[in-house]
Structure 1
Amino acid sequence: MNSIAKKVKRVLLKEKPLVKVYSHPRSGTHFLEAFLAKNFYNNKDLNLKEVVWGHWSNRKNKKDGNPYGKLFGNHLFAYHNKNKLPKIYIYRDGRAVAYSVWKTPNFLNKEDSKLDFNEFLQKPIDWYGTPSIKSSKSLTIFEHWLVHINSWFDLAEADNNLLLVKYEDLIDNPCKVYTEIHRKFFKKEKLLLPEELCLIEKPLGLLPNSGTKDAWKKFLNYENQLKFNTLIKSSKIKHNYH
């Protein structure tokens, strides 16, 4: 076999890169990973045997790993992910994100563990992109979430390999999300019927919370709601959350 034929064979046999999930922490990353795995990679080994996670001051080792861990991209801002790889960015209501971070001890500095939810919202976080990266940028969790989402929405305008998925749509209308993913990345493969879809029905991930959309409503005070409303007006998703 000549060298040209060998090169052609390597190209033809080259495995397609995995479609990976990117997100702000606590935005439904593992939920979407599981949905992808069950409906698009059902016969593929995606297991990561060990996962290190959590706040830079309070790291944990999840020894049972993540069965879909190879589908995780990262939690970094979009400018770290300018490449030709297929990507899905899942985003979620910032109030739910903040509540989930606050409810997850390992995502907080131990010094902040006694803050109530509204106190936590007022205090700048000490990480950037992911809780594992120490930072002194002085952003509150709402501000950090907004900058993160805006960076990815900006990237989506220039990157044809990126799909944006709303967490609440994955909860309320998984068939719609499945169709969007299929059209974007898997259009040569069989399109499953709604009754053939594998739906993810239980909370997943690192210390998963209830998975409900609006648990934060019982805790958020009026002052912080006003701050959120003001911030959202300058966001790329101002029509998505109220």
Structure 2
Amino acid sequence: MIIWLASYPKSGNTLLRSMFSAYLFSKDGTFDFDLLKNIKNFPDFGVFKNLGLDTANENEVVKKYIYVQEQINKRDRNSIRLIKTHSALNDINGYPFTNLNNTLGAIYIVRDPRKVILSYANHGEISLEESLKRITQVGIIGGPKDPNNKSVIHVGSWASNYNSWKEFKKFNKYFLIKYEDLISNPEEVFIDVMKFIYKISNTKFKINKEKLKNVLKTTTFDYLKNLEKQKVFPEAIKSVDGKNITFFKYGKKNTGKDLPKYINSRLLETFECEMKELNYL
């Protein structure tokens, strides 16, 4: 069964996946970029193509979301599969993104939109104005012509993405992580989210302390930044000249406090309700 690692882009999904992949898929908890391949993306262009689906037809892809998830779960119905997504949990053209038959639970990572907008601009090499437009409007990313992501992803806006995944709260299958808490207290947050996974999978909670120690040591921003200098980060996007854009670039320097006043005002005006709910205001 699938446990979704869901988030709006640039919200900390990579950090959480790094921690999970190091803890679950390494012998000693030491992280390496190669481990990320154990946690797939959805929708994934390659998976849909391998199943013989018409990936050039967006409506056909959306129509087959549930079918593809059934094929993923079909391999072993009793196993847990962590899958990353930036999709909002909305019906698209009348077709659902997922259902309870294929989903065991959802872990949602949220980040202050004032930090998201800066990270989006820096890593996508776009202006703050363009970044503002993207996170405040319901939109999509990717597509067959996108060299960085061939899958069309219906991300929505920052707020609609966040609000949509709260649907799983009705079924006690929802766990919210604030990126800021993950940074300030990674051990406590990681243990809490592991407890959630054990709970919804009806298994007894246990933690390998030595392994967790190595996870925490090798998933800090400085460690990941140095690792990217030594190895190519497989999910780095390319600039217009074809070069990889550094992914682990700013870290804690991105405080979200240096935004132009008009952009900050627009964010507060658009996301005031959600930001207050999350204690960002």
Secondary structure (helix, strand or coil) at the match of 2:9 reads coil
Q: Per-residue displacement from partner, 1:207-227 (whole Å, max 9, x unpaired)?
A: 514252452636511111122
- Aligned positions, number: 193
Asked if structure 2 preserves the Cα contact closer than 8 Å seen for 1:21 and 1:71, the reply is yes
Confirm or deny that 1:96 pairs with 2:136: no
TM-score (ref. length: structure 2): 0.56
Which stretch shifts more, 177-186 or 118-127? 118-127
Distance change (3 Å), C-alpha of 1:81 and 1:166: farther
Please name the residue that 2:78 is paired with.
none
TM-score (ref. length: structure 1): 0.63
Secondary structure (helix, strand or coil) at the match of 1:78 reads coil
Larger Rg: 1
Distance across 2 between alignment mates of 1:38 and 1:176: 17
Please name the residue that 2:185 is paired with.
173
Unaligned runs of 5+ in 1: 1-16, 54-69, 106-112, 136-140
Asked if structure 1 preserves the Cα contact closer than 8 Å seen for 2:5 and 2:82, the reply is yes
Please name the residue that 1:128 is paired with.
139
Distance change (3 Å), C-alpha of 1:218 and 1:25: same
Asked if structure 2 preserves the Cα contact closer than 8 Å seen for 1:21 and 1:87, the reply is yes
Distance across 2 between alignment mates of 1:180 and 1:91: 16
Distance across 2 between alignment mates of 1:52 and 1:165: 28
Unaligned runs of 5+ in 2: 28-34, 47-80, 91-96, 144-151, 226-232, 238-246
Q: Which amino acid aligns with 2:207?
A: L
Of 62, 67, 77, which residue of structure 1 is paired with 2:88? 77
Distance change (3 Å), C-alpha of 1:211 and 1:90: farther
Q: Per-residue displacement from partner, 1:120-156 (whole Å, max 9, x unpaired)?
A: 4257888725444488xxxxx9x8111111212x314
Asked if structure 2 preserves the Cα contact closer than 8 Å seen for 1:24 and 1:130, the reply is no
Of 260, 270, 273, which residue of structure 2 is paired with 1:234? 273
Asked if structure 1 preserves the Cα contact closer than 8 Å seen for 2:114 and 2:257, the reply is no
Of 12, 21, 24, which residue of structure 1 is paired with 2:5? 21
Give, in angstroms, the shift of residue 160 of structure 1: 2.0
Confirm or deny that 1:221 pairs with 2:260: yes
RMSD: 3.6
Distance across 2 between alignment mates of 1:146 and 1:116: 20
Please name the residue that 1:196 is paired with.
213
Of 143, 148, 167, which residue of structure 1 is paired with 2:161? 148
Give the fraction of aligned pairs with identical amino acids, expressed as a percent. 21
Please name the residue that 1:206 is paired with.
236
Flag the structure with higher helix content. 2
